[in-house]
């Protein structure tokens, strides 16, 4: 597929994959906004939204329509261009990130091998980090361009938080890279598709427990989720960087956040939980059913991490800002470095 | 390389069209009833006081500088990590090399810590 150029059917397949990934992402995003409130209701022993459709299932549609038909207020004091650019800078990178994540095995159809992944980049992981750091621009520009006090403070906080945790995040995956020897996410998954000591699935979470913990915590901070949601701490900053936004622009910040949530759950699955690998089963021997099984395994694992995000949100209280920065710089960073050193030494012993 | 990136390009076009479509739709569908108070900065219902672009803590600059420094160090790790397994068969040199690098990095980190660059009060 790499050198052969693109035939019509390749482009058709690609478009179907893009439609599938974007469609599933948007559907999941809608479901997440509902699940967030229903799970919150369940954990606080009350009802969530349950009136629109069966069990409130159509609530996200109602919300979406309402966002579209709201007045699109552009306050007179904002920097117009950046003000409009900011929400798209949050949403677009979030939607692009999923492109390199393999969400299933290889399907044989139309006489060719179709990888269930939009782009099989050899710099896959770098691509994800590059796009993930673009989100910071959206938040900072949104805060700055609003030309108002609360958004500016929210934007500053978010930038400080995200750059602090990005370092730990970047360092914690190095262990995975050392084991896989590649930045290509397919290789990372393939390396995990075996058995460890013949018993455990060879998932990186068993080989890299410390790296996994650091990555998980950093992922929570990167997606601005509780306990790290200081940029939008409602009681202190009203809404943070999106205080001056309304209608669909406001919704786009949230959509970006939820898509980032989905992507990071998928990334945790890919890097540490074997991706689409169903343990103890050789998917490639099962043909089409193997592919179905792999997609299913990937969905279940990703779904678990999505639930974990909700679970943690309603379980842990919010950090204070100095605690947050201390944790990022004084605990996570040295631990991430230690993880690199440990991985290096252990691999020297074993290999 | 170009062929590998092509799907990303296609996705980029689709996503950009989607985002632009959202802007256009909300712009066309929503009502438009501007008012002086509606268009003024939000300050919890009070009259806005002073300039919004006031000075803010120097800490943010320090953190940003430290980030640039450390992020570049992290980028140096990536090519090393990718070839680590392969070069390990040629002896421990690659491991010692990185231990020296991490050691130097750690000295700088401890210096920043001791000078109070990481304090936040």
DSSP assignments along A133-191, one per residue: HHHHHHHHHHHHHTTSHHHHHHHHHHHHHHHHHHHHHHHHTHHHHHHH--S-HHHHHHH
Percent of chain B with pLDDT over 90: 11
DSSP assignments along A256-304, one per residue: HHHHHHHHHHHHHHHHHS-TT--TT--GGGGTHHHHHHHHHHHHHHHHH
Cβ pairs bridging A and B (under 8 Å): 203
Chain A interface, best mutation among B12, B74, B91, B98, by max A CB count within 10 A = B74
pLDDT at A141: 87
Instruction: Tell me the pLDDT tens digit for each residue of A263-299.
Output: 999 999 999 988 888 877 777 777 788 888 888 889 9
pLDDT at A232: 62
DSSP conformation class of B88: H
- Window 205-224 of A, Cβ < 8 Å to B: none
Answer whether B19 sits within 8 Å of A159, measured CB to CB. no
CB A260 within 8 A of CB A267: no
Exposed, middle or buried by CB within 10 Å (0-12, 13-18, 19+), for B61?
exposed
CB B87 within 8 A of CB B94: yes
Instruction: Tell me the pLDDT tens digit for each residue of A304-316.
Output: 999 998 888 888 8
Q: Where are the domains of chain A?
A: 74-105+120-350
Answer whether B26 sits within 8 Å of A148, measured CB to CB. no
Residue ranges in B1-121 assigned as alpha helix (H)? 2-29, 59-88, 93-114
- Nearest CB among A170, A322, A341 relative to B102 is that of A341
A125 compared with A238, residue with greater pLDDT: A125
Q: Residue A166: pLDDT above 60?
A: yes
C-alpha distance from A89 to closest chain B C-alpha (Å): 10
Q: Is the peptide bond before A328 cis (omega within 30 degrees of 0)?
A: no
pLDDT at A3: 46
Phi, psi at A200, each rounded to 5°: -80, 150
Answer whether B15 sits within 8 Å of A22, measured CB to CB. yes
Q: Residue B41: pLDDT above 50?
A: yes
DSSP conformation class of B48: P
Alpha carbon distance A91, A27 (integer Å): 15
Q: Provide, as residue numbers in chain B, all residues whose Cβ is less than 8 Å from the Cβ of A351.
A: 85, 88-89
In this prediction, residue A2 has a pLDDT band, given cuts at 50, 70 and 90, of very low
- CA A181 vs. chain centroid, Å, equals 23
Q: Residue A1: pLDDT above 50?
A: no
DSSP conformation class of A320: P
A128 Cβ under 8 Å from any chain B Cβ: no
A159 Cβ under 8 Å from any chain B Cβ: yes
Instruction: Tell me the pLDDT tens digit for each residue of A182-234.
Output: 888 888 888 888 777 777 778 888 888 999 999 999 988 888 777 777 666 66
Domains along chain B? 2-114 (1.20.58.1610)
Q: Provide, as residue numbers in chain B, all residues whose Cβ is less than 8 Å from the Cβ of A127.
A: 8
């Amino acid at each position: 597929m790499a050198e052969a150029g693109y035939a019509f059917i390749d482009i058709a397949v690609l478009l179907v994959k893009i439609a599938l990934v974007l469609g599933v992402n948007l559907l999941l995003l809608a479901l997440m906004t509902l699940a967030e409130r229903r799970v919150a209701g369940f954990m606080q022993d009350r009802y969530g939204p349950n009136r629109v459709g069966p069990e409130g299932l159509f609530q996200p549609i109602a919300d979406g329509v309402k966002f579209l038909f709201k007045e699109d207020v552009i306050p007179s004091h904002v920097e117009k261009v950046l003000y409009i650019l900011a929400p798209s800078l949050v949403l677009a990178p979030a939607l692009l990130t999923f492109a390199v994540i393999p969400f299933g095995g290889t399907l044989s159809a139309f006489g060719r091998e179709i990888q269930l992944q939009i782009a099989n980049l050899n710099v896959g992981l770098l691509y994800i980090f590059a796009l993930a750091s673009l989100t910071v621009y959206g938040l900072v520009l949104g805060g700055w361009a609003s030309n108002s006090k609360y958004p500016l403070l929210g934007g500053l906080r978010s930038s400080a938080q995200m750059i602090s945790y990005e370092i730990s995040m970047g360092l914690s995956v190095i262990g995975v890279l050392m084991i896989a020897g590649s930045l290509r996410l397919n290789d990372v998954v393939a390396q995990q598709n075996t058995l460890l000591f013949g018993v455990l699935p060879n998932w990186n979470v068993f080989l890299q427990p410390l790296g996994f913990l650091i990555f998980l915590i950093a992922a929570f901070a990167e997606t601005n989720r509780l306990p790290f949601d200081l940029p939008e701490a409602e009681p202190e900053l009203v809404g943070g960087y999106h205080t001056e936004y309304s209608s669909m622009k406001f919704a786009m910040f949230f959509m970006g956040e939820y898509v980032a949530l989905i992507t990071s759950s998928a990334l945790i699955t890919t890097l540490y939980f074997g991706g689409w690998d169903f343990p103890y089963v050789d998917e490639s021997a099962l043909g089409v059913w193997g592919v179905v099984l792999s997609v299913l395994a990937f969905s279940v694992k990703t779904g678990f991490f999505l639930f974990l995000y909700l679970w943690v949100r309603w379980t842990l209280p919010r950090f204070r800002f100095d605690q947050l920065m201390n944790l990022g710089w004084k605990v996570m960073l040295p631990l991430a470095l230690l993880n690199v050193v440990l991985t290096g030494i252990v691999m020297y012993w074993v290999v | 390389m170009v062929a590998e990136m092509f799907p990303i390009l296609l996705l980029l076009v689709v996503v950009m069209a989607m985002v632009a479509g959202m802007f256009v739709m909300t712009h066309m569908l929503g009502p438009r009833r501007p008012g002086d108070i509606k268009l003024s900065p939000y300050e919890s219902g009070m009259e806005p006081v002073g300039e919004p672009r006031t000075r803010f803590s120097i800490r943010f600059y320090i953190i940003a500088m430290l980030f640039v420094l450390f992020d570049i160090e992290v980028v140096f790790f990536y090519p090393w990590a990718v070839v680590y397994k392969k070069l390990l068969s040629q002896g421990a040199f690659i491991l010692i090399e990185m231990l020296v690098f991490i050691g130097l990095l750690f000295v700088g980190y401890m210096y920043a810590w001791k000078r109070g660059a990481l304090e936040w009060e």
